Structure 1
Amino acid sequence: MVNLPPRTVIELFGLDATDSNQPWGAVLSEQECPFTHKRCYKVRKSAPEISIGTCAVSFGKPPAPILICPSRLLDRGQIFTDCLHLLTLHEPGNELHLVPEVKIPGGNVDYFLVSTKNDKVVDFVGIELQTLDTTGSVWPERQRVVERLGIATNDPAVDTTKAFGMNWKMTAKTILVQMHHKASTFEHVNRKLVLVIQNEFLDYMRGEFKFDHFHEPATISDTVHMHAYGLKDPIQGHRALGLASRISTDAVGIGEALEVQAETRVEFEAIVASLEAKISADTRFSPFNAGEAIQNAAPDAGE
């Protein structure tokens, strides 16, 4: 791993923010997320016409790349391809669909990867995305990075001494509680739920919560799977996402991690009805059209 500068923005709109050879004027003007192929949805509250575009920061000792935007995990659709093996009822000839934001008891699930035959749901995998939340504003450091890249901002925020931090504890507790609420739902209907996170975040949760009962490598019979990814060194301004580890447990295991008991139930037919109402030609997914499918499923800026 290349050495990183401490506590700064290292990716803007999917590009290495230390690479001055990128066309930054055009990138900052277009404000496009390269992972959703839409305008970056993270906008300034005081100026909603401005997309922030921060994908990753460096943090820690030694500094490591930390993802702070869930859309960054959509790189090349790799996270969805890495869930195909969990569609145990999928057969050749079935179609794949990528369906965003499906509501079930316990909250929304970010994506469903769905196998269909004759437009009827045969199998599905729920996929949740979680990156780190920050404390404090990243905006001043973002603006300082932009100026180091040779683009004047005339922004007084550049001169502030305030620094951002990482909200490890609250982010971890929040996502584990959410997974706990949803895990028993998926176990009840005998389907899989996958949490996609970064490797550094998984390492933190291992240290702070009870994870010694998780299976590693993951066991396909388990309901809850965690796929942890790392960022590779940049090539031509882009850091590729790579699967680093997979662990798994059941609904009880998530409860044990939090020392609580599972409580949510939902009927299989309710989930199927929600999915079949949303699948269409626009949601059709394959490893060869991942970009198009993700673009159709991604939120627009400001939503």
Structure 2
Amino acid sequence: MSRKKSTKALLEVFGFDPLDHTSIARQFWKLSACPFTKKSCTKYDHTRSICYGTCSVTNSIENVIICPNRLYEQDYLAIQRVSEDAFGGKEFFLFDQYIKHTIDGTLPSECVVALGHNSGKEVKITNMSMDWVLAYIKDGVLLNYVGIEVQSIDITGNYRDAWYAAKSKSNDIPAAQHGLNWANVHKRLIPQIIRKSLIYSKSNLVKNGLYFVVPDAVYKRFENIIGADIPQTQSVNKETITVHTYDLGPPQPFGRPRKLIPCRSLRFTLAEFSERFIAGPNLPSSSVLDNKIKNILACS
């Protein structure tokens, strides 16, 4: 079984290799379900009529995670890692676990409660939704909390023919026709990180700033804009941005999803991050725009 040789291909659909025809992989296809959130998949086409379930794709040089839910494997381990970094070994609960322990009277005196995707309610303020908030509670009192932004990248174009071939269990999947919307990094993702970091920095209870969980391939595009040499800091405060990047591990035997591998942990100040975005090291020189307009108008 093989994909046609191409620089573009589907890598995971409903959590499994598109060529994986095992019963467990096909069960997720039938259910349109996500093995990482253990919920219904949310990856639909623009008409909301077809659940594509595509977790990751390849381009000419790398694997790229295109669904943020892919980052939630092993019971939201990436979110638990943030809790460990921000609050140490405090017991971690999703919201339903927190409620259960509260009702049972077994809630520890100190714990961290996750509010966000499939865990209680997302925190929304001024038309902005915070992906995750981890709340540190001691003896029933909220003492501290930290925000987490989780991002992947959107596609352009489509991979319809490749997807239908995989759905029909074809052993010969054609090349995909997708692109990756890297323009969103500077149009939407970086401004969103800055805005949300500013909101958390104004809180009287936030002491660890904002965490950013992102595929390593996507964060590399951040570095194309803000630079890879942005100074890091060892201190942590409400104006800190901490980045945790992830990539997919090697292929697994059919019937098992790939593992998510931690790649990098970076920490810097909101001020430095914002300044790098505004005055970015990769901005064009002063003459580039002048010459571009002159060339269009054929002026000297």
Q: Which amino acid in 1 is paired with 2:226?
A: F
CA shift for structure 1 position 89: 8.5
Equivalent position of 1:126 in the other structure: 147
Structure 2 length normalisation: TM-score?
0.72
Partner of residue 163 from structure 1, selected from 177, 192, 198: 177
Equivalent position of 1:102 in the other structure: 123
Give the RMSD, CA atoms, in angstroms: 2.9
Partners of 2:194 and 2:270 within 8 A in 1:
yes
C-alpha deviations, 1:50-92, integer Å up to 9, x for none?
A: 421100001123xx22101010011111211211244348867
Pairing of 1:1-303 with structure 2 (within 5 A)? 6-46=7-47, 48=49, 50-61=50-61, 64-76=62-74, 77-88=76-87, 93-100=109-116, 101-105=122-126, 107-149=128-170, 163-189=177-203, 190-215=207-232, 219-221=235-237, 223-236=240-253, 237-259=256-278
Q: Which amino acid in 2 is paired with 1:72?
A: R
Secondary structure at the counterpart of residue 17 of structure 1 = coil
Partners of 1:113 and 1:124 within 8 A in 2:
yes
Secondary structure at the counterpart of residue 200 of structure 2 = helix
- Structure whose CA Rg is larger: 2
Structure 1 length normalisation: TM-score?
0.72
Secondary structure at the counterpart of residue 212 of structure 1 = coil
Q: Kindly tell me: are residues 173 and 22 of structure 1, through their superposed partners in 2, closer, same or farther at Cα, counting changes over 3 Å?
A: farther
Secondary structure at the counterpart of residue 192 of structure 1 = strand
Q: Kindly tell me: are residues 209 and 173 of structure 1, through their superposed partners in 2, closer, same or farther at Cα, counting changes over 3 Å?
A: farther
Give the Cα separation in 1 of the matches to 2:156 and 2:68: 16
CA shift for structure 1 position 198: 0.8
Q: Kindly tell me: are residues 46 and 80 of structure 1, through their superposed partners in 2, closer, same or farther at Cα, counting changes over 3 Å?
A: closer
Give the Cα separation in 2 of the matches to 1:163 and 1:124: 42
Give the length in aligned residue pairs.
247
Partners of 1:41 and 1:51 within 8 A in 2:
yes
Secondary structure at the counterpart of residue 63 of structure 2 = strand
CA shift for structure 1 position 5: 5.8
- Sequence identity of aligned pairs in percent? 22
C-alpha deviations, 1:25-52, integer Å up to 9, x for none?
A: 432211111111111012234453x421
**Would you tell me which structure has more strand in proportion to its own residues?**
2
Partners of 2:9 and 2:176 within 8 A in 1:
no
Q: Which amino acid in 1 is paired with 2:141?
A: K
Partners of 1:106 and 1:178 within 8 A in 2:
no
Higher relative CO (Cα under 8 Å, sequence separation at least 6) belongs to: 1
Secondary structure at the counterpart of residue 142 of structure 2 = strand
Partners of 2:57 and 2:66 within 8 A in 1:
yes
